[in-house]
């Protein structure tokens, strides 16, 4: 890493969750799900959500937030066809605003070319840290209440008469219920299940790999 390469400060998962919880306490104090992330960004924070043609094709990402945090640009195709992914992207970009303000304050991102120049300034490892932290923030935002999530999983295990009897069909039903309850994509739900209930996912994966 050269002296000009941006460095991403370490943030523990607990720290990220605390920041996300404080954010929701301000903008969605009920913590009810699904979290109205679009309304929080557009109405409460007055951030413009701007569908942009071929954004992902051009820069390899389906969204980014401008350096002054006034606009979140989202790939137009994703915005029109995948609301769950759009919700995650908005939460992810809000994560950059809340976690990486100092880094973004020193940028001047106003368009796709600026964003590409911004990301190219990072080493691959530092950019990876930046994105992982924003992903964790997004997960904390969209799954604000672990008790609700845990109750859904425990109910599914009870229905299957125990974790050892959990079939792929049971798992698919659990995945669908998680997606519907929290209004998230299948990938987002699966990542959450893998992280919080690894033994359950591992048991099912023995029969059908994910």
Residue 63 counted as domain residue: yes
Sign, Cα dihedral of 113, 83, 22, 130 = negative
pLDDT at 1: 47
Measured CA to CA, the distance from residue 60 to residue 168 in angstroms comes to 33
Residue 210 counted as domain residue: no
**Which range (53-57, 89-93, 202-206) has the least confidence?**
202-206
pLDDT at 3: 52
DSSP characters over 32-49: -SS--HHHIIIIIS--EE
Residues 196 and 115 in one domain: no
Residues 20 and 122 in one domain: yes
What's the whole-number mean pLDDT along residues 84-90? 98
CA dist list (Å): 196 to 67, 70, 125, 187, 200: 34, 34, 25, 14, 9
Residues 21 and 112 in one domain: yes
pTM given for the model: 0.94
CATH number of domain containing 73: 1.10.10
Percent over 90 (pLDDT), the chain: 89
Residues 22 and 38 in one domain: yes
Measured CA to CA, the distance from residue 40 to residue 202 in angstroms comes to 36
Closest CA to 51 of 20, 24, 78: 78
Cα-to-chain-centroid distance, residue 50:
18
Identify the band that residue 208 occupies on the pLDDT scale cut at 50, 70 and 90. Answer: low
Identify the band that residue 207 occupies on the pLDDT scale cut at 50, 70 and 90. Answer: low
Residues 83 and 165 in one domain: no
Percent over 70 (pLDDT), the chain: 97
Instruction: State which residues form the domain around 161.
Output: 146-205
Residues 19 and 115 in one domain: yes
What's the whole-number mean pLDDT along residues 118-140? 97
Comparison of pLDDT for 39 and 206, the residue scoring more: 39
Number of structural domains (the chain) is 2
């Amino acid at each position: 890493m050269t002296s000009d390469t941006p460095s991403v400060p370490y943030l523990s998962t607990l720290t990220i969750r605390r920041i996300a919880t404080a954010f929701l306490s301000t903008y969605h104090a009920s913590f009810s799900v699904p979290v109205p992330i679009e309304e929080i960004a557009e109405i409460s924070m007055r951030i413009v959500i701007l569908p942009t043609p071929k954004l992902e094709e051009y820069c390899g990402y389906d969204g980014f937030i401008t350096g002054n945090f006034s606009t979140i640009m989202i790939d137009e195709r994703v915005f029109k066809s995948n609301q769950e992914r759009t919700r995650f992207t908005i939460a992810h970009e809000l994560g950059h605003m809340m976690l990486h303000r100092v880094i973004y304050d020193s940028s001047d991102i106003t368009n796709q070319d600026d964003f590409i120049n911004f990301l190219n300034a990072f080493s691959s490892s530092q950019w990876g840290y930046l994105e992982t932290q924003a992903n964790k923030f997004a997960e904390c935002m969209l799954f604000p209440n672990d008790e609700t999530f845990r109750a859904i999983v425990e109910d599914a295990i009870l229905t299957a008469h125990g974790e050892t009897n959990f079939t792929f069909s049971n798992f698919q039903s659990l995945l669908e219920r998680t997606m519907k309850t929290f209004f998230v994509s299948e990938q987002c739900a699966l990542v959450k299940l893998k992280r919080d209930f690894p033994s359950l996912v591992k048991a099912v994966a023995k029969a059908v790999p994910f």
